[in-house]
Amino acid sequence: MQISDTKLEAKLESLPHKPGVYFFKDSVGRIIYVGKARSLRHRVKAYFQEGLPADAKTQTLISKIKDLEVLVTDSEMEALILEANLIKEHKPRYNVNLKDDKRYPYLKVTVDEPYPRVLIVRRVKKDKAKYFGPYTNVSGMRQTLRLIRRIFPIRSCNLTIPSPTGRKYKVCLEYYIKRCLGPCENKGSYEEYRKLIENTCLFLAGKNNYLMEELKRQMNRYAEEENFEAAARIRDQLKAMESVVQKQKVVDTEKVDQDIISLAREKNDICVVVLQIREGILIGRQDFYLTSKTDTPESEILSSFVKQYYLHSPVIPEEIFLPAEIEDHSIIVLWLEEKRQGKVQLIYPQRGKKAQLLEMAIKNAQLLLNELLIQKSQKEAQIPRAIQMLQKELYLSKPPRTMVAFDISNLGPTDAVGSLAYFEDGRPKKSEYRKFKIRSIKGQNDFAMMREIVARYFSHLIEEKQALPDLALIDGGKGQLSAALKALDALGVKNQEIIGLAKRLDEVYLKGKSDSLMIPKTSPSLRLLQRIRDEAHRFAISYHRTLRGKKITKSELDEIEGIGQTRKKILLSQFGSIERLKKASLTEIKKIKGISGKVAEKIYQHFNLKEQA
């Protein structure tokens, strides 16, 4: 709902002098920007002060702000963490967003179990387990997991050990090939198994040198105790570890944990590379793709990435190299030091070895960005066969790579809604779906409703200076198509390709043509049109049901103080309907279990005073 300037002004004046997070919303209530502030009042009001210089992105953002909300926190550090979480959740248009970050896998060590396992997971939960990642190279992660299972004989089964029912397990093949200690049959000691898990976590954290020294101490201790079987097992682990370390590149003789972060950008596309150095050895590389507005400063991009990347990272290095100074340097350092429980430095190297490491990371980022741009250009060049056929059969000037379909749902006299499904290269793009509440039309007038939603959608595109779809599909025949054309004419949109698709015989209606067009039933292009039309219809019905469901849950009882959902259910289950409750006497209402005498009097007075009025 669009908010008046007066209301927005009032909100600005009531902002507190406290740390927190602020949300800017557009005219339809979407969150378009999330930010954090040491003082909400000073930071948010600064956006609206006249005469202050602002870059093009900020100016555009300010022009879209129609509402704002704030969340007060106890400290600026809490605001920093909350900001990173909210950006991940809402992916606002004017923030720097990590692409598909929720899809990257992690290795989870279930240290909260008596006999832990190492699992591949896609989400970090707030549990007692340890998470390592995210791994942008999935094949590399699986190779790491195979290596762990070869070096450390920890279980890979899903058994609950010990069994809660007292059931007896038998060891599997993994035990006989020395890939598991066999805790299911109490083979080996509990302490030895937990030590394996501890060593696995050190290995995943890149602490290979420390781990090898620890393993040598354990081997010598077992040899002194004449436990030669355990000593031999550790000897084998050491050999496997040594073969891994030999393959790794030594980049620094100082045994310091470092992350080298760099980026390369081309318009809205950004590639970030993180080189992970542990104890002076390069152990891995993580690649991330980001999106941001073209004129977003590099300092803001790096700051957003650091906050999102280290939000769930289990390992925080002592030194983090960056190509440019970032926003909120001091508070980010404090936050990282609190997570690490130790000193953290953000370094901006200009010369020497550290600058060379940063240059290596920048070259990697540029190579990956070039690959991404090539893939995008190849994808743009490839046009699906159904799209090519559709262009030919509908006599279109260009392939309809972006298509929208409009539908109306008005199953009753009220709550009429419209929907829009969006397809790109023949596939649904759900982030671009839209739903509309019919505002100006009363009763059941499908033509007028179609005209309204088409006008609203295209006027929004024109206002936002966004590209128009290659093809618009109207669910209906001549009448609905004519209504949509009137909406486009009123907006001055002359060259939009638009068709109607009637449900009865799947006839296609073209603008300026009196007769319908029949596409062969077996044609892939007709199936594509049917699919996008049906998807718009499904979306409209779903939205209509949601609105009806909300309406059903509302009742006249909501107007009475002291009546919540629980008491509402009690009253409706007892009387069956509001009408019967209205006719009930005060004594009858008081008899209901869960309704106090005071509340009963309020209910009785509410309905009786209304009747008298």
Which contacts (CB < 8 Å, 24+ apart) does range 453-458 have? 453/406, 453/408, 453/418, 453/420, 454/406, 454/483, 454/484, 454/487, 454/488, 455/487, 455/490, 455/491, 457/404, 457/406, 457/420, 458/487, 458/488, 458/491, 458/493, 458/496
Q: Scanning the structure block, which residue is given the tokens 């005469």?
A: 51
Pull the structure tokens for residue 556: 């006249």
Angle at 160 between CA 159 and CA 162, to 5 degrees: 120
Whether the predicted pLDDT of 458 surpasses 60: yes
Q: Between these two residues, 567 and 475, which has the higher pLDDT value?
A: 475
| Secondary structure of residue 560 in the 3-state scheme | coil
pLDDT for the residue numbered 413: 57
Over range 424-430, report the average pLDDT: 90
Nearest-angstrom CA–CA distance, 32 and 24 = 6
Which CATH class for the 556-612 domain?
A: mainly alpha
Nearest-angstrom CA–CA distance, 254 and 113 = 36
Whether the predicted pLDDT of 149 surpasses 50: yes
Burial class (CB in 10 A: 0-12, 13-18, 19+), 257: buried
Over range 212-233, report the average pLDDT: 80
Nearest-angstrom CA–CA distance, 423 and 432 = 9
Residues 5-95: name the CATH superfamily.
GIY-YIG endonuclease (3.40.1440.10)
Whether the predicted pLDDT of 250 surpasses 50: no
Q: Between these two residues, 221 and 427, which has the higher pLDDT value?
A: 427
β-sheet bridge partners, residue 36: 21
Q: Scanning the structure block, which residue is given the tokens 């990173």?
A: 84
Q: Between these two residues, 40 and 139, which has the higher pLDDT value?
A: 40
Whether the predicted pLDDT of 613 surpasses 50: no
Distances in whole angstroms, Cα of residue 332 to Cα of each of 77, 88, 304, 340? 8, 17, 11, 12
pLDDT for the residue numbered 249: 47
Identify which of 150-154, 339-343, 420-424 has the greatest average pLDDT.
Answer: 420-424
Identify which of 55-69, 282-296, 313-327, 433-447 has the greatest average pLDDT.
Answer: 313-327
Task: Output the DSSP codes for 322-340.
Answer: -SS--TTHHHHHHHHHHHH
Whether the predicted pLDDT of 85 surpasses 70: yes
**Contact in structure between 171 and 248 (CB atoms under 8 Å):** no
**Contact in structure between 469 and 495 (CB atoms under 8 Å):** no
Tell me where in the chain the CATH 3.30.420.340 domain(s) lie: 386-550
Identify which of 54-58, 118-122, 137-141, 285-289 has the greatest average pLDDT.
Answer: 118-122
Nearest-angstrom CA–CA distance, 137 and 121 = 14
pLDDT for the residue numbered 2: 40
pLDDT for the residue numbered 248: 46
268 falls in which pLDDT band (50, 70, 90)?
confident
Please give the order of strands across the beta sheet that includes 67-72.
Answer: 31-37, 20-25, 67-72
3 state SS for 475-518: ECCHHHHHHHHHHHHHHCCCCCCEEEECCCCCCEEECCCCCCEC
| CA of residue 504 relative to chain centroid, distance | 40
Biggest alpha carbon–alpha carbon distance for the chain = 97
Task: Choose among 292, 297, 355: nearest CA to 326.
Answer: 297
Task: Output the DSSP codes for 456-475.
Answer: HHHHHHHHHTPPPPSEEEEE
Pull the structure tokens for residue 482: 């004519």
What type of residue sits at position 102? K
Whether the predicted pLDDT of 246 surpasses 50: no
pLDDT for the residue numbered 379: 67
pLDDT for the residue numbered 73: 86
**Contact in structure between 307 and 97 (CB atoms under 8 Å):** no
User: Rounded mean pLDDT of the chain?
Assistant: 82
Q: Does domain 258-378 have CATH number 1.20.950?
A: no
Whether the predicted pLDDT of 162 surpasses 80: yes
Residue 248 backbone zone (phi > 0: left; psi -120 to 50: alpha; other: beta): beta
Least confident of 183-187, 280-284, 309-313, 394-398: 280-284
Over range 207-213, report the average pLDDT: 72
pLDDT for the residue numbered 492: 92
Q: Are strands 508-510 and 498-501 parallel, antiparallel or unpaired?
A: antiparallel
Tell me where in the chain the CATH 1.10.150.20 domain(s) lie: 556-612
Tell me where in the chain the CATH 3.40.1440.10 domain(s) lie: 5-95
Write the CATH number of the domain with boundaries 386-550: 3.30.420.340
Whether the predicted pLDDT of 10 surpasses 60: yes
Taking only the tens place, the pLDDT of each residue in 537-578 is: 999 888 877 766 565 445 667 778 778 777 877 887 777 667
Taking only the tens place, the pLDDT of each residue in 271-291 is: 888 888 877 777 777 888 888
Query: What DSSP character marks residue 167?
Result: P
Pull the structure tokens for residue 602: 């309020």
Pull the structure tokens for residue 83: 């900001």
Taking only the tens place, the pLDDT of each residue in 304-322 is: 899 888 887 778 889 999 9
